Structures are given as structure tokens and as C-alpha cells.
Amino acid sequence: MLVDDVHVVTDAQDTLACARWFGRWHDLDRGRITVRLAPPATRRSVARDILRSLGKRLTLPESPGQTVHLWPLVEVWLAAEQVRHVFVLRAHLLDDDALERLLTACEAARAAPWLIVAAPAPPAEMMTVLDQVLLNPWGDSDLRSRIRTFEQTAADEGTPPKRRRVEEPRPWPLLPDDEFWSFRLTCDELLSDADFDRVDAEMLVGRMIALEWIERRASQQRSRTDALVVDELHGLLAGVCASAATPGQKLARLRGAQIALFLAGALVHIPANALSVLATNATAALDRRATTLLRGFASTHLAAAGALALASGQPPRHLQALNIDSLSDDVSQISGHGRLYPIPFYARGLIRAHRVTRGHQAAASDPLFRAEQDPAQRISVAALQKMLVRVANATGLALNADLAQYGRGADHWPLEDFVSVELLETGRQR
């Protein structure tokens, strides 16, 4: 690790203001975490503290009776969540061993460590370790000259962004029956500002998912309209719905997706009464709440299995057939059973972490989930089902762990009979 990649900040008065200021930079979606070290900050406790700041709940019964090696997990999750800055509060508590391991993990994940020490100057032991570990190819960029006080840092870095409001489980507003061309305008007229903002945010999510899909097709140099296959569109729309929690959220997302698709040359009709059909979907959605719950797992296979089950709504027999290369490079979607399922941006780290883990196992196009007893083998449907039940029990999420709960089979998208698609350039209609 280069000397320039490490930041050392002093807080002589050990203030709450400093802790709060760095705390406000914590935002996993933007690749920043703030780690609060529990005393006495040993190698093992620091790994736990980092995992906790990554949203892991190590009290979950993940691997009963097994010793979990925490630092490899730290490295996997830092990389998977694409963390770029690790703010370590009370870094003066780190012992030499823990500091070295922290720097190694940050380097492996290409994250910049920020060591915030509650003292007028960093401890001599810390500087010794840094001198030994950091590379200083330029010679003139001395780490000591780059130590900043909290006040200097705050002035240099500016105001931390306001923390996003935590989603509150408020009832979803009653939505108008309008089709997509007037839906947003009517919502703006009818709904309170707060409710409109929620609807607008979901529309944006739907629109973004559709745009990503359209752009991906364009990058494959296929015609924007001719190649819009109706079946694939159904797959996209099913995916748009899969990660939303309530029928209202699903409809708002669909309206957003319809806008993007219309601009790309596909007129999609979705009647508002389809909401009643959406309401019968019994599984949970891969929304932010579910993502947070799944992020609680330190084990990557549990988090990924839960996320994929929710993103696709598919049963174990379909998830079991997934391979590593079923995932797109950027983990924005997964293909399976003839459909593409988008993965919301906030949940991609969950799946990326498992791909990183499988990558470490030298698996390129192998099964995404492997058998626990025989790592060379694909996981069995029964084992995957058991795994999903474990995830469901630990998180309280309703996962599609059993095909029998769906009368028509889990691969049937409930809206398929209600949606009509018209490709504008060809005039084909279904």
C-alpha cells in the first residue's frame, strides 16, 4: 500500500463532534464505512468491528459449531460492497498486529484506510508500523507531513452528506388508475409531497432497471426496437416487480419502466387493476429492508441465496441450476430459466461477495452454489431448499423455498396475462 493511500487524522480532545462527523460519512451505497473500534482493538475484535460496520450480525446462527475465519470475510465483503474509504475511529487503540491486518485488508479491497486517533499525535507504535508497511516510492511524501487535525480534515473535506432517512413502514398511498403517460402527473396532483416523493423514487428505480436493460442490449449492437422480444420484456417486468415489497411499489416501478421502454420503442400496457394480481404474490421483495436483513449474514452463500431467491422469485430447483456466469459482469442481473432478473444496485454487493468467494475457490463457470460436503459438486435442490429455509428463519423473510406454495408454478409471472406489449416500429402486438 502506498503512503498516499493512508490518511491519519488527530483529534486531540477526543471529541464527540469528531466521532459524529466521521460517522456521517458512513454510507455503504457510496462505498464508505465508519468502523467503531471496541476496546481493546485486537486482531480478532477489529475484524468483528469491520464486519459489523458492513452490516453483519455475527450473532446469527450461520455455521453452528464451525470456527469462522473473519479476516478473509472482511476482505471479501469490503471488495464486494466496493468500499473505497474505511474510516477507523479510535485507531490509537489498534495493536500492531491488528493495524497491520487492517492495512492488508484495505489494500486487498483497494480501500483507503483513515486512521482517526483521539490524541494530539498518533502513537509512536502506530507510526512505526506504518513506516514498515507503507511504500514510499517518492521519498518526499512523508506520512508525518500528511497527518491532519480533525479541524483541518473537516475544513478540507467539507460537510458530510446528510444521512438518508431510514425507511419507515408507512402504508403505501392509494395510487391513481392512470396509465404511464399521465401517472406521475396525477400522483403529483393527488398525493402529499411525502407520498409523491416515495412514488417518484420507485418510478425512478423501475426506470433505471429498464434503462440498464436497454443499454445492455444496445451495447450488444442489436437494434433497439426489433430485438425487443416480448418474452424478454415479460422477464424484465417480472424482475422490476420482484424487488419491490408492496403492490403499490410494484405498480410505481412498472410505470417508471414503461416510460423507459416507450422511449426505446416498446409500448407496454399494464392495467391498474393488475394490482390485485400483484397483491397475491406471497414472497417478500428484495427491497432495502430485505437487503439489510440479508446483509446481516457474514457467510456469502447465505446472503447470496436469499438475495437471488428474492430478486427472481424462483424456487430452489431453478436457483440450484445457476452458474457463476449466469451473473452479468456488473452483477446488475442474473439469467436463469430463460429470463433475466435485474438486481437492485443496493443489493448487488450481496451477490458480488459470493462471486468473489467462488472466485477465490478458482471457480469461473462453475455452479454458483456448491455442495457443502463435496465442494466439486453442485448443491442439491434439497440442500439449497434447506439453506433458504435457514435464511428465512433467521431473517423472517418470506422466501420461495418450496415450489408447492404456488399453484401455477413459481416460474409463472402473475402479470403475464394482463400485460400487452406493442413494438412501435414493427407494429407487432401481443
Partner 1 sequence: MTAEHYLGLTGARTMPTTALQLTQRAVNDLVELQAMGVVYGPAGSGKTFAWQTAVATVDVPVCAVQFPSRPSMLRVAQVLLGRLSGRIPKGSRFALSDELLDLLSERPRLVVVDEAQWLNRDCIEYVRHLHDDPATKFALLLVGGNGCWEVLEREAMLRSRLFRRVAFAPMSADAVLRVIPNYHQLYTGVDPELLLLIDDVFAHGYFREWATFTHTAQHVCEDRDTPLDEAITRAVFALHDGGADAGR
Site for partner 1, rule CB under 8 A: 13-17, 19, 23, 26, 36-40, 44-45, 48, 52, 57-59, 89, 93, 118
- Inter-residue contact 54 to 81 (CB < 8 Å): yes
Residue 151: Cβ-neighbour burial (10 angstroms; 0-12, 13-18, 19+): middle
Helix-helix angle 70-80:43-53, to 10 degrees: 30
Least distance in angstroms from the C-beta of 290 to partner 1: 18
State the nearest-atom distance from the C-beta of 71 to partner 1, in Å. 14
Nearer to partner 1, 55 or 235 (CB): 55
The x, y and z cell numbers of residue 87, run together, are: 474510516
Least distance to partner 1, CB of residue 44, Å: 7
Angle at 250 (CA atoms; ends 244, 251), nearest 5 degrees: 165
Cβ proximity to partner 1, 292 vs 380, nearer residue: 292
From the CB of 12, what's the least distance to partner 1, in Å?
A: 8
Strand 148-149 vs strand 7-10: parallel, antiparallel, or unpaired? Answer: parallel
210: number of Cβ within 10 Å: 29
Q: Which is nearer to partner 1, 137 or 169 (by Cβ)?
A: 169
CA angle at residue 307 from 291 to 217, to 5 degrees? 105
In the complex, minimum distance from the CB of residue 70 to partner 1, in angstroms, rounded to a whole number: 10
Q: Of 46 and 322, which CB lies nearer to partner 1 in the complex structure?
A: 46
Distance in Å, CB of 51 to partner 1, minimum: 10
Taking the least distance from each CB to partner 1, the nearer of 77 and 413 is 77
Name the residue with cell 455455521. Answer: 63
Q: Smaller CB distance to partner 1: residue 122 or 316?
A: 122
Residue 15 or 420: the one with the smaller Cβ distance to partner 1 is 15
CB 297 within 8 Å of CB 392: no
Least Å distance, CB 215 to partner 1, is: 37
Q: Which DSSP string corresponds to 165-218?
A: PPP--PPPPPPP---HHHHHHHHHHHS-HHHHHHHHHHHHHHHHHHHHHHHHHH
Q: How far is residue 14's CA from residue 155's CA, in Å, rounded to a whole number?
A: 18
